[in-house]
Amino acid sequence: MKRAVVVLCVVLMLALSSFAYGQWEGQSPCTTWLSPGFKTTFYAGALVDPSDGLAIGEALRFAGSGNFNFVWNVPFRGVWLGLSAESALTNNNIGVMASGWVLVPSSKTSGSVISDLGTITSGYSLEDQFSIVDGAVYFNTWASTKVLAGFRWDHLDTKLTEDLSALSFVERWDFTINAYLPYFGVQVDQGGIVVRVIGFPAVPGDVRLARTNTDGLSIESKSASFKSGQFLEVFASYNKKLSRGMEIGGFLTYNYLHGQTKFITPAEVAIPIEALSVTYNRRYWTMGGSLSWDFNL
């Protein structure tokens, strides 16, 4: 979370300093290394998810009762704030992109827990921290088409305080999920319209799980890497020029990520409730507006 905020601040400071210098001096200090152009964009949009937009599935072992599957359907809503920067390099056929995004959660209401025992209506409280840092290199191929190769760090920290009165226990579950995503994609720019599709057929990353009871005593702490997964994102925007170097627009994003991991517990460890595996499914839409500064150096 802190890293993403730092990235957003750096991108914003670079954009504002370039803009101010360009206004007063007639050129930007980025000229020497970001020639022949530099564009930065600020985004703000509402995250809209279906009822199961964020689902964390667990296989649990209950001592003396066997294994059961649980799925936490977590409300996942809020406002995305993002900054991006893009620059063509000197030959104008290769360029770089960078962006940072932070989610400001707007919902801490409870969702549902589905298990082999049926749907459990529960009153869990929710705390989310979600951020994305992204960087890519693009290659201009033909017409207005770019081929992308990039890397994304996707971080989610979710804290669930669960009051499962039906099962007679109250616990806090802390999930820290990091995905380190190489990706490839295509972007088309035409007449103010931008469409971009990126993805990767695997999800390198890890899950850390910590369970504590209401007294703060540790019950279980585990971590493991994803064994399988997929990642896909589709982005579309329309921009209209307001004045020289400034554009306003709207955007729509669809994001999907799936990952699965298996925990390994030493044979000598015996606890009443043990996590065996975690399945992470996330899908959401974001719709909002943007403001861009384009420095034609």
Residue 280 located in a structural domain = yes
Residue 294 inside a domain? The answer is no
**Domain containing 246 — which CATH number?**
2.40.128
The DSSP string of the chain is -HHHHHHHHHHHHHHHHHHHHHHHHSS-TTHHHHTTEEEEEEEEEEEE--TTSEEEEEEEEETTTEEEEEEEEE---EEEEEEEEEEE-TTSSEEEEEEEEEEEE------EEEETTEEEE---EEEEEEEEEEEEEEEE-STTEEEEEEEEEEEEEEEEEEEEGGGTEEEEEEEEEEEEEEEEEEEEEETTEEEEEEEES---EEEEEEEEETT--EEEEEEEEEEEEEEEEEEEEEEEEEETTEEEEEEEEEEEEEEEEE----TT---SEEEEEEEEEEEEEEEEEEEEEEEE-
Closest CA to 261 of 187, 190, 193, 205: 205
Say what the pTM is: 0.79
Is 296 contained in some domain?
Answer: no
Structural domain total, the chain = 1
Q: What is the pLDDT of residue 282?
A: 86
Query: Which of 57-66, 87-96, 194-203, 268-277 tops mean pLDDT?
Result: 194-203
Mean pLDDT in residue range 73-102 = 86
Beta strand 273-296 pairing with 246-262: antiparallel
Cβ-contact 265, 221 below 8 angstroms? no
Query: Using one digit for the tens of pLDDT, what is the confidence trace for 97-149?
Result: 999 999 887 655 556 666 666 655 555 666 778 899 999 999 998 878 999 99
Expressed as residue numbers, the domain containing 62 is 2-288
Please report where in the chains the tokens 């390099």 appear, as a residue: 89
In this prediction, residues 216-237 reach a mean pLDDT of 85
Q: Which has more pLDDT, 144 or 10? A: 144
Please indicate, yes or no, if residue 297 is contained in any of the structural domains: no
Rounded average pLDDT over 92-97: 87
What is the predicted pLDDT for the residue at 244?
81
Domain assignment present for residue 274? The answer is yes
- Say what the pLDDT of residue 263 is: 72
94 domain-assigned: yes
**Is 293 among the domain residues?**
no
Q: Tell me the per-residue pLDDT of 149-175, one tens digit each, with 9 for 90 and over.
A: 999 999 988 877 766 555 555 677 788
In-domain check, residue 14: yes
